[in-house]
């Protein structure tokens, strides 16, 4: 298989973690006989410094021409002025919009070797959990009409049937390859937009008779995530609810440095990135955890390229390293062997 990948290192630790993601990708290329053509382009703070914009036209064009995009992280104190007309985050929003990515897919998984790092009690996570949050990314209250009226302000939650149908199908298709259960999260007891959400998801569910649909109010979902996370498999949410619940799900795993994400659209092309930031305080010190980026590579192989065996090989390599008690400093515990960014990347690649 030959695939073209646009690679965006970004800012801060982005350069370091992308290097290890690419190291693992090259190992997969070698082991399975694929060809991955990498095109490095710029976005974020580094692009602002060089071009005056967070997302140069050339970068967006290269990403649109690629089969997938691999991103490190953007931003940092240098560009952290909320009044600035140009900010690194604009690059990410522009890229998602330009690629027409309407679905954000965020796994939250507890590796057995890291269960002690979770803030939840052992009795709650003894059986582990493996959740995927599917968040609608381009609609809802973040994109509705907003404004000020005297001493009042307003933001409008609005969804169309089309927007709900397409994100629901992403969730149900994912569920078909997993445990075949979807928890659809809404606030249908109060919000009209949620009532449309629930009605539309129910119609889409009829296309997937093998998948069980469970409707859950968002406040209950937030509670159930910390009470019994193992009950969830695929969680389907609107933009705002997903923003909140995916962060909650990431925290109960115990380490943000372990979590990957994907943003996808109607086709197979997707944007893959770790959920953590650019961590400028440790940039260039060989301390960053590259595992979230490496697992983002695995998601890319699975979702965009359909290479499920290759993706599972990466996941197994990560699990093997963790089981042998190797850690980066952010997930280190008493008795573990602490490795730097490069050493962790090399070890995972060797296990492949």
Show which residues are catalytic.
Answer: 142, 187, 219, 243, 247
Give the integer Cα–Cα distance in Å for 170 and 208: 12
Going from the C-alpha of 167 to that of each of 11, 70, 173, the distances in angstroms are 30, 22, 10
SS (H, E, C) 123-185: HHHCCCCEEEEEEECCCHHHCCCEEEECCEEEECCCCCHHHHHHHHHHHHHHHHCCCCEEEEE
Answer for the pair 215, 188: CB distance below 8 angstroms, yes or no: yes
Give the integer Cα–Cα distance in Å for 238 and 221: 13
> Bridge-partner residues for 215, per DSSP?
184
- Long-range contacts, stretch 21-27, CB < 8 angstroms, 24+ apart: 21/70, 21/290, 21/293, 21/294, 21/296, 21/297, 21/345, 22/70, 23/345, 23/346, 23/349, 24/294, 24/297, 24/314, 24/317, 24/345, 24/348, 24/349, 24/352, 25/297, 26/349, 27/349, 27/352
Answer for the pair 328, 13: CB distance below 8 angstroms, yes or no: no
Answer for the pair 51, 316: CB distance below 8 angstroms, yes or no: no
Which residues lie below 8 Å from residue 12, measured CB to CB, with a gap of 6+? 73, 75, 76, 277, 278, 279, 280, 283
Residue 85 half-sphere exposure toward CB, CA atoms < 13 A:
2
């Amino acid at each position: 298989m030959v695939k073209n990948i646009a690679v965006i290192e970004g800012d801060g630790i982005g350069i370091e973690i992308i290097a290890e993601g690419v190291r693992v990708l090259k190992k997969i290329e070698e082991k399975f006989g694929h060809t991955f053509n990498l095109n490095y382009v710029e976005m974020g703070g580094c692009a602002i410094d060089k071009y005056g914009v967070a997302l140069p036209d050339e970068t967006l064009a290269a990403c649109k021409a690629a089969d997938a995009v691999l991103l490190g992280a953007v931003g940092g104190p240098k560009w952290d002025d909320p009044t600035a007309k140009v900010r690194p985050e604009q690059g990410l929003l522009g890229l998602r919009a330009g690629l027409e990515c309407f679905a954000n897919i965020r796994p939250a998984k507890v590796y057995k070797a890291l269960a002690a790092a979770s803030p939840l009690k052992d009795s709650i996570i003894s059986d582990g959990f493996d959740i995927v949050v599917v968040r609608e990314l381009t609609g809802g209250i973040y994109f509705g009409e907003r404004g000020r009226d005297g001493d009042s302000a307003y933001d409008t939650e609005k969804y169309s049937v089309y927007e709900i149908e397409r994100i629901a199908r992403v969730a149900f298709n994912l569920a078909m390859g997993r445990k075949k259960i979807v928890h659809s999260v809404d606030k249908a007891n109060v919000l009209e937009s949620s009532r449309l959400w629930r009605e539309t998801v129910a119609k889409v569910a009829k296309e997937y008779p093998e998948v069980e649909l469970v409707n859950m109010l968002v406040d209950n979902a937030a509670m159930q995530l910390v009470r019994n996370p193992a009950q969830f498999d695929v969680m389907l949410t609107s933009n705002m609810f997903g923003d909140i619940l995916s962060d909650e799900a990431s925290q109960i795993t115990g380490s943000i440095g372990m979590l990957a994400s994907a943003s996808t659209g109607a086709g197979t092309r997707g944007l893959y990135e770790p959920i953590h930031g650019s961590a400028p305080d440790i940039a260039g010190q060989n301390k960053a955890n590259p595992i979230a980026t490496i697992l983002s590579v695995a998601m890319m192989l699975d979702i965009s390229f359909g290479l499920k065996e290759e993706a599972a090989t990466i996941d197994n390599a990560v699990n093997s390293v963790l089981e042998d008690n190797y850690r980066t400093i952010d997930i280190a515990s008493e008795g573990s062997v602490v490795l730097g960014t490069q050493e962790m990347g090399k070890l995972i690649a060797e296990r492949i």
